[in-house]
Chains A and B, each alone.
Chain A
Amino acid sequence: MLQPGAQAPSFSLPQLDEGSRQFQQGKPALLIFFETDCPTCRLTIPYINRLAQLAGAKADVIGISQDAEAPTRELVEQAPIRFPVLLDGDLSVSREYDPQAVPTLFLVDGAGKIARTSVAFDKADLNAIAAEMLGEPFELAGKHDGAPQTRPGCVSRHLEPRADGELASSVNLYAERGARASRIELSDDVDPCEFCYLAGFADPLPVIPPTVERVERMLAATTLPPDRIVARVPPNYGMATVEKIAANAVMAGCEPEMMRALVPLIRAACDERFNIHGVQATTHFAAPLIVVNGPVRRELGFACGSNVFSNVARANSTLGRAFQLILANIGGARPGELDMSTLGNPGKFSYCIAENEEENPWPPLHTEFGFDRGQSAVSLFAAEPPHGVSEHNARDGRTILRAISRALATVFSYRFCFGWEAMVVLCPEHVKTLSRSGFTKDSIREFLFENTGIPIREYETDGGEGTQFTQLYQRATINGEECYRKFARPDQIRIVVAGGTAGKFSAVIGSWATGPRGSQMVSYPID
């Protein structure tokens, strides 16, 4: 592989939809070699999109696909990729640069020398490359944005063993077209609403029958073809084509414009990090909580103020419901079948909030995943139902946070520490007091981490859940009492601002099992 200091070979390759493109020295450039079926490449793309946007005219960002035109186009549309992509179909440029894995980034300076390289996914490398391109320190990949610090890539296509004469191609897991949905003709004496219920299309509430005309109106609101597979939905891995998504969106009562949010939401849910398979199949309370951020809140009418968790707005209720219908109808996790939750969760009808960014003096949730404030995004958290925290007498932020820390201590199970995350939904009145007391999002997280613990005396009485793992827990003195810390790290506490401007009620929402062995929060852009 070419190393820093080496001259970057110039080349000419076909550019997707643009004829051909010459690469030669003269201007700083970032080359990214990728494959269309490499999950680590897909993880890296949003960071490179952002870097391309920030670099502007200062440097070129050029993608080099090691796959054929069709799968590359599919990835460019789906990811989406927002920088020019060249096609290295015969792998000649890959052989010259010789990356050992994908993605590999080569930063080339104005004199045509390789200044820096990065193999696979590495946040420190991304930040170093961003700093060099932008000419100042820049955190492109935040520590707590939900992605791992590093992740191995896939072997570069030119190093894959293959028979002589065989063309490079990949098993394309992302670009298949599915069959069109079947049509069901109802005779005049059948009530379509009752049919939907009896045919098992619905949650137990009535749905709008997905007539061909209604589904077509929904499809007209997206540029995606109806047979495009957006994702395979666990646990049954049913193919969620755009048409199937649209039919369920109709049933849930969505307006056609909601396809804009629903398609990225389904992609987010099927991201392996979120592990919707486990979230749907567990006996725990977990249900996926949707958090919407950015301008799309106003554009599609999402509520983020009073009653944010309730039946307050068509957008929140129908997006959440369409999502649940898709998980059951296409993913197969129906109550009593693959979904055997002991007590369930009222959020399985619909569980969708938007962040009240107007009342939030700190960076909103989606910026922690690397998005700009002006980018719309949808995030998912494997959530218990909300647990209210009332605090109307606090004169300073610390008193509010102490009240919240007591609720946080009970997440999952009182004495069970470390394996769980929590989302703290702060109401605007609490936010005002916290902000006046000088708190930031990070210092709130730190305070809650430092002050949430279970007294060790609680472990001395009898055995029980959480008592068998105390050797893994951290000890800390909280309010003069020896405790075990509830959380392993401050970033296990997520902060969201939502709710009405009257009332000092915040909420704590527990998680299901977290981290790589459970469900990790994900956030996807809405365009």
Chain B
Amino acid sequence: MKTILVNPLDETPRATGIPARRLDALAGKTIGLLDISKWGGSFFLDQLEQRLKDRYGVEQIVRVMKPTFTKPAPDAVIDQLVNAECAAVIEALAD
């Protein structure tokens, strides 16, 4: 007799997405920096912001913070980045 198993893994149908096109250059762009709100995040992102401006000519930095690092970003946080029309977003953390 053949053995027939019931698949115990996740089979939830999901839409597939296409990754955004990579940027050719950062100069003149608006870049979002998403701090997940761990304790050392602001020190790290301050440094990153400075370098993006000084070294790569980034025009504008949009700083956004999640209310807690333990949960996914709520829509309001994502909306801030979308509304700012960021060319790219860097999500970062530091303990």
Q: How far is the CA of A188 from the CA of B3 in the complex (A)?
A: 8
Q: What A residues does B15 contact at CB under 8 A?
A: none
Q: What A residues does B71 contact at CB under 8 A?
A: 275, 277-278, 517
Closest to A248 in B: B8
How distant is A275 from chain B, measured CB to nearest CB, in Å?
6
Q: How far is the CA of A356 from the CA of B66 in the complex (A)?
A: 41
Given A211-B4, A239-B11, 17 more pairs with CB closer than 8 A? A181-B7, A181-B11, A183-B5, A184-B4, A184-B7, A186-B3, A187-B2, A210-B5, A210-B6, A211-B3, A212-B5, A236-B12, A278-B71, A330-B9, A468-B39, A517-B67, A517-B68
Closest to B67 in A: A517
Q: What B residues does A233 contact at CB under 8 A?
A: 10
Which one, A195, A199, A215, A331, contacts B6 given CB within 8 A?
A215
- Quick check: B12 and A237 within 8 Å, CB to CB? yes
Q: How far is the CA of A512 from the CA of B8 in the complex (A)?
A: 29
Q: How far is the CA of A199 from the CA of B39 in the complex (A)?
A: 40
22 contacts between A and B (CB under 8 A): A181-B11, A183-B4, A183-B5, A186-B2, A187-B2, A195-B5, A199-B9, A201-B8, A211-B3, A211-B5, A212-B5, A236-B10, A236-B12, A239-B10, A243-B6, A244-B11, A248-B8, A275-B70, A277-B72, A329-B8, A517-B67, A518-B70
Q: Is the interface of A mostly helix, strand, loop or mixed?
A: mixed
Q: What B residues does A179 contact at CB under 8 A?
A: 11, 13
Q: Give the residues from 236 to 261 in chain A that come closer than 8 angstroms, CB to CB, to chain B.
A: 236-239, 243-244, 246-248, 250-251
Q: What A residues does B70 contact at CB under 8 A?
A: 275, 277-278, 282, 512-513, 517-519
Q: How far is the CA of A178 from the CA of B71 in the complex (A)?
A: 26
Closest to B2 in A: A185
Given A278-B71, A518-B68, A185 and B3 contact (CB-CB distance below 8 Å): yes
Q: How far is the CA of A251 from the CA of B7 in the complex (A)?
A: 11
Q: What A residues does B8 contact at CB under 8 A?
A: 181, 201, 210, 244, 247-248, 251, 325, 329
A182 at interface, CB cutoff 8 A: yes
- Quick check: B4 and A329 within 8 Å, CB to CB? no
| Residue from A183, A196, A244 with most neighbouring chain B CB atoms (10 Å) | A244
Q: Give the residues from 1 to 39 in chain B that come closer than 8 angstroms, CB to CB, to chain A.
A: 2-13, 39
Q: What B residues does A239 contact at CB under 8 A?
A: 10-12
Closest to B10 in A: A238
A152 at interface, CB cutoff 8 A: no
A153 at interface, CB cutoff 8 A: no
Which one, B3, B7, B13, contacts A247 given CB within 8 A?
B7
How distant is A184 from chain B, measured CB to nearest CB, in Å?
4
Q: What A residues does B10 contact at CB under 8 A?
A: 233, 236, 238-239, 244, 329-332
Which one, B5, B12, B39, contacts A184 given CB within 8 A?
B5
A192 at interface, CB cutoff 8 A: yes
- Quick check: A181 and B6 within 8 Å, CB to CB? yes
Q: How far is the CA of A212 from the CA of B6 in the complex (A)?
A: 6
Q: How far is the CA of A376 from the CA of B50 in the complex (A)?
A: 57
A9 at interface, CB cutoff 8 A: no
The proximity string for A residues 456-468 relative to B, scoring 1 for CB distances below 8 Å and 0 otherwise, is: 0000000000001
How distant is A480 from chain B, measured CB to nearest CB, in Å?
32
Q: How far is the CA of A190 from the CA of B59 in the complex (A)?
A: 61
Closest to B68 in A: A517
- Quick check: A238 and B12 within 8 Å, CB to CB? yes
How distant is A198 from chain B, measured CB to nearest CB, in Å?
12
- Quick check: B5 and A209 within 8 Å, CB to CB? yes
- Quick check: A186 and B6 within 8 Å, CB to CB? no
Q: How far is the CA of A236 from the CA of B11 in the complex (A)?
A: 11
Q: What A residues does B3 contact at CB under 8 A?
A: 185-186, 190, 192, 209, 211
Q: How far is the CA of A282 from the CA of B95 in the complex (A)?
A: 13
- Quick check: A185 and B4 within 8 Å, CB to CB? yes
- Quick check: A183 and B12 within 8 Å, CB to CB? no
Q: Give the residues from 54 to 90 in chain B that come closer than 8 angstroms, CB to CB, to chain A.
A: 67-68, 70-72
Q: What B residues does A181 contact at CB under 8 A?
A: 6-8, 11
Q: How far is the CA of A199 from the CA of B2 in the complex (A)?
A: 18
Q: What B residues does A250 contact at CB under 8 A?
A: 6
A200 at interface, CB cutoff 8 A: yes
How distant is A418 from chain B, measured CB to nearest CB, in Å?
13
Q: What B residues does A237 contact at CB under 8 A?
A: 12
How distant is B66 from chain A, measured CB to nearest CB, in Å?
10
Q: What B residues does A236 contact at CB under 8 A?
A: 10, 12
Q: How far is the CA of A518 from the CA of B38 in the complex (A)?
A: 12
- Quick check: B68 and A186 within 8 Å, CB to CB? no
Q: What B residues does A232 contact at CB under 8 A?
A: 12
Closest to A512 in B: B70
Closest to B9 in A: A329
Closest to A201 in B: B8
How distant is B92 from chain A, measured CB to nearest CB, in Å?
15
Q: How far is the CA of A482 from the CA of B60 in the complex (A)?
A: 48
